[in-house]
């Protein structure tokens, strides 16, 4: 009973050095388009890859008075990535500001998913009550060696979901 619609938007995905003036400008120009997409498609859940998309989607969701749930898909830890790339300093204003935005997004998102099992554990100390998990929400059940599935035979390899189908039977 879930209709899945993929919508591409013009989000910067890897500009790890975006400062807050850039985030404010980006949010200002992107918010009307994102809100229109949510309303026009009657979205109930918005899945966002990365910080910038999640930030704008959470602002748009607030304007729907809580009707829309946002899933924050963390691809990399942006504040730490800025440190690694040398764009900002540990303990600096930009780093601390991004950490504050990250805390707000994890708190407000209905679910936060990550690309690796280690990432939720690195986020958990700062977000003990958040719904955190790996993006593999429905792990494959593997038969014990030599037993196969019901009816005998080998377990079939995991297949990609059909185009437009949700890859998990029970999405957040």
What value, to the nearest 5°, has the Cα angle with vertex 43 and ends 103 and 6? 90
Residue with the bigger pLDDT between 62 and 123: it is 62
**Cα angle: 111, vertex 115, 119; to 5 degrees:** 75
CB atoms near residue 70 (< 10 Å): 26
Give all strands of the β-sheet with 69-74 in edge-to-edge order.
45-49, 69-74, 111-114, 132-134
pLDDT tens digits for range 42-59: 889 999 888 888 999 999
pLDDT tens-digit map of 123-161: 888 888 888 887 654 444 444 555 444 444 444 444 444
Q: Name the pLDDT band for 107 (thresholds 50, 70, 90).
A: very high
Q: pLDDT per residue over 3-31, tens digit each?
A: 666 766 666 655 556 677 777 888 888 89
Give me the pLDDT at residue 149, please.
Answer: 41
pLDDT of residue 104: 94
CB atoms within 10 A of CB 64: 15
pLDDT higher at 9 or 108 = 108
Cα(9)–Cα(87) distance, integer angstroms: 25
Quick check: helix, strand or coil at residue 155? Answer: coil
Query: Alpha-carbon distance 69 to 132, whole Å?
Result: 15
* Tokens coding 140: 């494959």
pLDDT at residue 118 greater than cutoff 90: no
C-beta neighbour count of 154 within 10 angstroms? 8
Rounded to 5 degrees, what are φ and ψ at 130? Answer: -75, 155
Q: Which residues partner with 40 through β-bridges?
A: none
The percent of the chain in helix, strand and coil, each rounded to the nearest 5, is: 40, 10, 50
pTM summary value: 0.71
């Amino acid at each position: 009973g879930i209709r899945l619609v993929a919508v591409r938007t013009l989000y910067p995905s890897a500009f790890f050095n975006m400062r807050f003036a850039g985030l404010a400008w980006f949010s200002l120009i992107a918010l009307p388009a994102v809100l229109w997409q949510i309303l026009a498609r009657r979205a109930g859940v918005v899945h966002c890859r990365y910080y910038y998309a999640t930030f704008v989607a959470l602002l748009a969701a607030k304007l729907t008075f809580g009707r829309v749930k946002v899933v924050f898909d963390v691809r990399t830890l942006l504040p730490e990535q800025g440190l690694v790339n040398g764009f900002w300093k540990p303990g600096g204003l930009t780093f601390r500001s991004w950490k504050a935005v990250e805390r707000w997004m994890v708190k407000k998102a209905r679910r936060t998913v990550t690309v690796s099992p280690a990432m939720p554990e690195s986020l958990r100390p700062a977000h003990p009550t958040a719904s955190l998990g790996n993006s593999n929400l429905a792990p494959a059940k593997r038969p014990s060696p030599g037993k196969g599935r019901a009816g005998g035979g080998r377990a079939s390899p995991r297949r990609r979901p059909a185009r437009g189908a949700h890859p998990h039977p029970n999405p957040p």
